[in-house]
Structure 1
Amino acid sequence: MLFAHDTECGLVAAAALVNTAGPGREGLPDVAALDRFFTAYGWSGRHEHTDAELRQVRALRPRLRRIWDADADEVVEIVNALLRESHALPQLIRHDDEPYHLHAVPRDAPLATRMAVEAAMAMADLVRSGELTRLRHCDHPDCDDVLVDLSKNRSRRFCDGGCGNRAAVSAYRARRAASHS
């Protein structure tokens, strides 16, 4: 583990949330999809299961996506704004059989607020440790997803959407075509 568990979870969830939106794609089309996302990324606390909550979560995505394209100073501006707007007050918390970790807003705060603060706190750890280069865009030419490279050797190039497999298949086919010509 490169970072604290809650930092890694926050980074992965932020990238996954960003990747639910893209050109011609809506990964959170309805409340049921948000429910699945909530469960898949281990969110706890308040979850209203409403269209209003869904709209708030969707509205967070462009702000988080900007982080992947920003320099360190702009990342700090985004992170500080998210924390300030959410009235974040970091505290050590233990729940659901998890060890102590940081929560900066109450568990009954709106889901979009908790998502914003969790992402901001995780990004703050990246800034403080000089690790913003771990925030990347997928290398596949047909993909605009983002990723967090948590590998020790900083070698991750593709998102979780199967792009690594597609690239390997394309390279294999190109090698086969070249050897048969």
Structure 2
Amino acid sequence: MIFAADTEVSLASAAALVASDDPDTLLTVDDLVRFVERWQFTGRFDRSEQELAEVRALRPVLRRLWQAEEVAAVELTNQLLAEYRATPQLVRHDHWDWHLHATTPDAPLAARMVVEAAMAFTDVIRSGELDRLRTCAAEDCDNPVLDLSKNRSRRYCDAGCGNRANVAAYRARRSAGQTAS
């Protein structure tokens, strides 16, 4: 484990939220319910169209944060933490042992999501590990990639781009081999 478990989950959920933009998989409140359940967000959840719109509006902000160089990432992280009045506190709930929350459970869902992401980014930045946050290496994809591998080798997102690239490379090698014969 590179980061604390809650940091890794926050980074993964932020990446998933950014990637939900293309194709858009957050079109309905039901889509949001599935996202919240998948990523185990706790606290207030209104299940409303307004809440859906607020969460959808986070995607470009988190994409900018994901793609930012260090100084810009620090500035944007600090801006988000200040804007949402983050107050870090240790909490323990459900199956999670002690970890950080920086909003109250009754804060709006979008606020909790963006603050969790910003808090995770503070760990990434402080650890000098921003290079673990990448963009997919596939030419036709700009989804975020969270590389938690030991050898820092992850290049593709979770949307199947690595599979497509491997198949294309295999076919190209095979085609080249048949042409050479």
State TM-score, norm by structure 2: 0.97
Q: Which amino acid aligns with 1:129?
A: S
The residue that corresponds to 2:69 in the other structure is: 71
> What is the Cα deviation at residue 144 of structure 1?
1.4
Segments ≥4 residues shifted beyond 3 Å: none
Partner of 2:89: 91
Match of 1:29 in 2: 27
Aligned pair count reads 179
1:3 maps to: 3
**Correspondence list, 1:131-146, <5 A:** 131-146=129-144
1:103 to 96, 101, 104: 101
Counterpart in 1 of 2:50?
Answer: 52
* Structure 1 counterpart of 2:76, one-letter code: I
In the alignment, structure 2 segments of 5+ residues that lack a partner are none
Other-structure match for 1:17: 17
Q: Corresponding residue for 2:160?
A: 162
Q: How far apart are the structure 2 equivalents of 1:96 and 1:48?
A: 20
SS in 2 for 1:100: strand
CA distance in 2, matches of 1:160, 1:107: 30
Query: Could you tell me how far apart the structure 2 residues matched to 1:71 and 1:166 are?
Result: 29
The one-character-per-residue Cα deviations of 1:55-99 (angstroms, maximum 9, x if unpaired) are 000111111100122111110111111111111110000000210
Distance 1:26 1:178 in 2: 37
Deviations 1:92-118 (A, max 9, x none): 000002100000001111000000000
C-alpha distance after superposition, 1:4-31 (max 9, x if no partner): 0010001001111011113xx3120111
1:81 aligns with: 79
Q: Distance in 1 between matches of 2:88 and 2:3?
A: 17
Identity rate of aligned residues, in percent?
Answer: 56
For 2:40, the aligned partner's letter is: G
* Structure 1 position 128 matched with structure 2 position 129: no
2:147 aligns to what? 149
Tell me, which stretches of 5 or more residues in structure 1 are unaligned?
none
Question: Does residue 1:39 correspond to 2:27, yes or no?
Answer: no
CA RMSD of aligned residues (A): 0.8
